[in-house]
Amino acid sequence: MTVSPHDQARILSEALPHMQRYDEEIVVIKYGGHAMGQEDTARMFARDIVLLEQTAINPVVVHGGGPQIGQMLNRLGIKSEFAGGLRVTDAATIEIVEMVLAGSINKQIVGYINEAGGKAVGLCGKDGNMVVARKIGRSVVDPGSNIEKIVDLGFVGEPEKVDVTVLNQILGRELIPVLAPVATSKQGGTYNVNADTFAGAIAGALQAKRFLLLTDVPGVLDTSGKLIKELSAGDARRLIADGTISGGMIPKVETCIYALERGVEGVVILDGKVPHAVLLELFTDHGAGTLITR
């Protein structure tokens, strides 16, 4: 479909008030391992991020990489288990997690953004002690005995302390930080942190104007499968309690509430596979996905 020059000009003009709203503001974008998908969609995402920076927004990209880690572990013949939705990460696995997240995936996204005319900088939570994590355990109910037991997840952590000194040096200088969710601990070493949780902690510490969670679903759906356009944090808690929000959406929404409580103005869960989802959300009246506010 070709758009006439007049329509292009009108579209740009209509985006102006939205651009003004986010002028000089920080927008944290969680870019999921599933949303990355094909190379052409990754390149399109990179262009959109460069466009944000060109319109005087300060984007911060946090990426996951679950599917890519799984592929590499399979290639190397390392068995990987999950407990309570998190990957059990032993010493052999954490090496691969760090290699894939802070290495290949991070530099691939950096490369795409730079090819699109941006100046991306690849970092992880270890850089400048940005994210110090503590070890987490998960309790899992054994289906046979129905007894709850604590599972040792190995090198899996959650953010305990966030220091955004490094990001404050970068933001506002035409540089785009791209962050891998790998952290250190007070004792040193490496921890694998869930990318949604990592991104929420970064968004909260930066007091971001918007935190966008790109997933592989349209947003939060009601009981009949229709998209809920807007929710308060209180509404979201009620929908978790009554079972409307279930499964893998629960931790995502809990991350959103966590970020709001730490000063983020609004959080949006949206489908990262939709072309230009980030631009649709920030620069149109239409928006995309589910907006959750305080």
Q: pLDDT of 133-165, one tens digit each?
A: 999 877 777 777 778 888 788 899 999 999 999
- Listed ranges 61-70, 116-125, 186-195, 285-294; the one with the highest mean pLDDT: 116-125
The whole model's pTM is what? Answer: 0.92
- The region that residue 61 occupies, defined by phi over 0 for left and psi between -120 and 50 for alpha, beta otherwise, is beta
40 pLDDT band, cuts 50/70/90, is: confident
Going along the chain from its start, the domains and CATH numbers come out as 24-275 (3.40.1160.10)
Q: What's the DSSP call for residue 284?
A: S
- pLDDT of 99: 93
- Is residue 91 pLDDT above 80, yes or no? yes
Using CA atoms, how far apart are residues 54 and 230, in angstroms rounded to an integer? 28
Q: What is the per-residue pLDDT across 238-254, written as a single tens digit (0 to 9) for each? A: 999 999 998 888 889 99
Which 3-state string (H, E, C) describes 86-140? Answer: EECECHHHHHHHHHHHHHHHHHHHHHHHHHCCCCEEEEECCHHHCEEEEEEEEEE
Average pLDDT, the chain: 91
Work out the angle at residue 284's Cα, subtended by the Cα atoms of residues 252 and 49, and round it to the nearest 5 degrees: 65
Q: What is the pLDDT of residue 102?
A: 94
